[in-house]
Amino acid sequence: MTAEVVLVTGISGSGKSVALHALEDAGYFCVDNLPPELLRDFIRLEHERFTSRVAVAVDVRTAVSLPHLLPLIGDLKREGVNIRAVFLDAATDALVRRFSETRRPHPLSTAQAPGDGSRALIEAIELERALLAGLREVSTVIDTSQLRPAQLRSWMRDLVGANASSLTLVFESFAFKHGVPLDADFVFDVRVLPNPFYIRELRPLTGRDDPVAAYLDAQPEVTEMLSQIESFLRRWLPGFESDQRSYLTVAIGCTGGQHRSVHAAEMLARRFADRNATLVRHRELDTRD
């Protein structure tokens, strides 16, 4: 029996507890804040107990052991362990707001210092980003800045449900007015395309609705841009696959994240479905649902 391990890490306040609960609901045996030096023994023990799916949350509270975690991930993969590292991230202003709402201290904050408490919190967040930068580079990143807990749980279930033996393409639509997703590997701007928003009967619909899709498919610029994005990805995907990447996130943005970017993400996912495992996310629509 091959062990399947999901390693959940990321910036404090980005939703690791929510993600771990989602994995627990999906049938994983979960452990929070396991010291990295115990990871190998923990996997072996659970394998001997016939627990094939385990999830482990590791965060900056074990910072002294983090330098050992990166080589350990590589060693475990070479030993045949199916290990996926998922890194949860969020914009600094979102993290400050969450810590303010919960009134919990940041793990790297010292005793309450006089002066600007927000500034001290931002400094702790920036230090944490620096400490975890190497781990972020080898992980699948999820930007939780604008995600509700239910949305994060859904995205986590989608991730672990995808085939880990090959590269999974994630097509994510978003609105530029709400910021570019932190988890994007590639960003394409489709705001130059004709906008269904300005057609009264199409305005309340989305890019998943047939009338909007029919309107956009009839525009030569839409066809040309999607073909060029597809060609670009097909040219470079083999390189990412040979680099042992598990996920590649292609973010497609328009003004409101409702029509053009949604349609583009859906169409591109269909074009690559026969080549790669594909996931589709609509950041603004999922937040609204």
Residue ranges of domains in the chain, CATH in brackets = 4-161 (3.40.50.300), 168-288 (no CATH)
Q: Tokens representing 14?
A: 């980005």
pLDDT for residue 116: 46
Average pLDDT of span 18-35: 90
| DSSP secondary structure code for residue 181 in this structure | -
Closest CA to 249 of 91, 144, 140, 176: 140
What is the mean predicted confidence (pLDDT) over 206-228? 97
Give pLDDT tens digits for 116-153.
455 688 888 998 999 899 889 888 899 999 888 988 99
**Spatial distance between the Cα atoms of 4 and 52, rounded to a whole number of angstroms:** 6
Task: State the pLDDT at residue 162.
Answer: 67
Cβ density class 171-203: b for 16+ within 10 Å, e for less: bbbbbbeebebbbbeeebebeebbbbbeeeebe
pLDDT at res. 113: 41
Residue 228 confidence class, pLDDT cut points 50, 70, 90: very high
DSSP summary character for residue 257: S
Q: What rounded mean pLDDT belongs to the chain? A: 88
Of residues 205, 145, 149, the one with CA closest to residue 174: 145
Interatomic CA distance for residues 182 and 162, integer angstroms: 21
Report pTM: 0.78
**Beta-ladder partners of 277:** 168
- pLDDT category, 232, cuts 50, 70, 90? very high
Instruction: Enter the DSSP assignment of 112.
Output: P
Phi-psi region of 50 (alpha: psi -120 to 50; beta: other; left: phi over 0): left
pLDDT value of position 2 = 61
Q: Return the DSSP state at 110.
A: -
What one-letter code names the amino acid at 109? Answer: S
Question: Is 221 within 8 Å of 191 (Cβ atoms)?
Answer: no
What is the distance between the alpha carbons of residues 263 and 208, in angstroms, rounded to a whole number?
Answer: 6
pLDDT at 197 over 60: yes
